[in-house]
Structure 1
Amino acid sequence: MSVPVLRAVDLGRASVLAGGSGRLTGYLARPVGRGPWPGVVVVHEALGVDEVMRRQAVRLARAGFLALMPDLFTRGGVARCLVATMRAALSGRGRAYQDIEAARTFLADSPECTGRVGVIGFCMGGAFALVSAGSGGFDAACVNYGVLPKELDAVLAAACPVVASYGGRDRMLKGAAARLDSALDRAGVVHDVKEYPTAGHAFLNDAEVGPRLLRPLLRVSGMGPDPQAATDAWQRIDTFLNTHLNPRKGES
């Protein structure tokens, strides 16, 4: 059985045109078969583009989406880029947003894309996905345990439809799901927000991440995979993306 292949792509030209990084690479996962397909920009976690994140992109391609993950740490790696990128995620401003826009434009302009593009983010990427939902460029946003911006109502004033998933054992984001759900209600944005009581941070990952010596501590803190919650969350994500990016399939 054929599976989608992840290949490296150069996003530098698109990023320069968007006002982003002069050097930007990414990873594109193309569904098997004939397109065009809806596109999804995948925004990685704070640890960068690792094997877990690559598998998330491939999973989206397997579900029928042209998935593109820009490497927001292209210019200097995690060590040099993490602080500035995290600052951008929390403030809603910074070069990383132009790099995400470059990825969106790359997909929208591709003959393999239908022109409808969503964004999905995990952890740090979830914060980027939520702010990007209000940028006016995306047709759907998937927010996975992303920090909420301070100006939440302003960010969501003109947001695209949002599906969001949080863990009830995530101590860093206690109450975030309820606050986001209420804010989306106030904004009149179509949404599906769910908190999973048994899950912690990064529960959608299919394997543990981070330095091996720290993994026992991360497990104690509730961080890591939760297969049961992840299965339900992915079903919701797939349905939501198909509804808003691929209406014919979403109605089937």
Structure 2
Amino acid sequence: MYARRTILRGAAALPLTAILADPLLSRAAAATLTETKLTTAGGRTVTGFVAMPETTPAPAMLLIHEWWGLNDQIKAVAADFAAAGYIAVAVDLYDGKVATDPTNARAYMSAVDPAEATETLAGWIDWVRAHEAATGKVGTVGWCFGGGWSLNASLVRPVDATVVYYGNVAKQAADLQKLAGPVMGHFAEKDQWINRDMVSGFEAEMDKVGKPLEAFWYDAEHGFANPTTARYDAEDAALAWERTTRFLTANLG
């Protein structure tokens, strides 16, 4: 415990990217979160990890992990959100499984039951909105696999802001009509999956229903915001994060 406190004090002045790139610092930040369980509407018990801000009442953020699963890096981002004044809930859609190679990540992602994942996210949004320390304002953010689910979460429950990092946004206007708040998307020019065609279609469908969208493109590859991969682009990641924090401040307070 003393060692973890010492590490965290030393890390306090470091940028988030430096913490995420260092396994020891990420692990120490992740350890500050509280494991929390809830029962979904369907009766399943699901687990999330919660970071609380120093000052409440506070707005809330729901974080949805990449295809790797809920690892220390995503938990460290939740800790950073709490330091910025948010109640942060890092959701686990893999039931505790964390991948360390693409083969396992793909298998875990493919095994996710969409209906159960939707129910899980709805449960956490309801939970954090009703939290005694919350203002009632809620936002979602996700990366890769989680980027698509950040949007999905906002379609199943009304939220005040949605952030998508290179996630699947192939939706129809009838679904997007359910959005209650604005959406911000960060996309990569060299992404072979979440490409211009998909995002252009998303923009067109959002226009049909008059929903606000800010879509930004970066001369980067899929996953450019993850400092632990070879595709990491420090400049673009920093710009995307600055835009994200501005957007959340404007819409969540």
Global fold match (TM > 0.5): yes
Who is 2:46 aligned against?
Answer: 24
Aligned residue for 1:72, secondary structure, equals: coil
Q: Percent identity?
A: 25
Specify the code of the residue in structure 2 equivalent to 1:51: D
Aligned length: 219
Q: Deviations over 1:218-241 (max 9, x none)?
A: x4xxxx311111111111111111
- Counterpart-to-counterpart distance in 2, 1:234 and 1:29: 19
CA–CA separation in structure 1 for the residues paired with 2:69 and 2:97: 11
1:190 aligns with 2:233: no
Name the structure 1 match of 2:109: 82
Q: Partner amino acid for 2:109?
A: L
Among 54, 62, 66, which residue is 1:41 paired with? Answer: 62
Query: Hey, what's the Cα distance between the residues in 1 that align with 2:216 and 2:83?
Result: 24
Distance 1:201 1:239 in 2: 22
Matched, 1:6 2:29: no
Deviation digits for residues 196-223 of structure 1 (CA, Å, limit 9, x no counterpart) = 1x21111121222xxxxxxxxxx4xxxx
1:42–1:67: 8 Å Cα contact kept in structure 2? yes
Of 127, 139, 158 in structure 2, the residue corresponding to residue 137 of structure 1 is: 158
1:81 Cα deviation after fit: 4.7
CA contact (8 A) 1:24 1:75 kept: no
Q: Counterpart of 2:240?
A: 233
* Equivalent in the alignment of 1:164: 185
Q: Which residues of structure 2 form unaligned runs of 5+? A: 1-8, 13-28
- Which amino acid is 1:236 matched to? R
Distance of 1:200 and 1:137 partners within structure 2: 31
- How many Å apart are 1:244 and its aligned residue? 1.3
User: Residue 9 of structure 1: CA displacement?
Assistant: 2.5
SS in 1 for 2:138: strand
Distance in 1 (alpha carbons) for counterparts of 2:157 and 2:122:
11
Q: Structure 1, residues 98-149: CA drift from partner, whole Å, max 9, x if none?
A: 1111111221121221111111111111111112222242111111111123
Separation of aligned partners in 2, 1:128 and 1:227: 24
Give the counterpart of 1:95 among 104, 116, 134. 116
The answer to whether the Cα contact below 8 Å between 1:52 and 1:207 also exists between their aligned partners in 2 is: no
Unaligned runs of 5+ residues in structure 1 are: 89-93, 209-218, 247-252
Aligned structure 1 segments of 4 or more residues deviating by more than 4 angstroms: 1-5, 75-81
Q: TM-score, normalised by structure 2?
A: 0.78
Match of 1:55 in 2: 76
CA contact (8 A) 2:169 2:199 kept: no
The SS at the match of 1:74 is coil
Q: Secondary structure at the match of 2:162?
A: strand
Structure 1 residues 6, 164: closer, same or farther in 2, change over 3 A?
farther
> Structure 1 stretch 132-141 or stretch 118-127: which is displaced more?
132-141
How much is the aligned-residue C-alpha RMSD, in angstroms? 2.3
Identify the match of residue 143 of structure 2 among 116, 122, 131. 122
Q: Distance in 2 between matches of 1:178 and 1:232?
A: 22
Write the distance in 1 (CA, Å) between the matches of 2:125 and 2:86: 13
Per-residue deviation, residues 23-58 of structure 1 (Å, max 9, x unmatched): 211111222x22111001101111101122122222
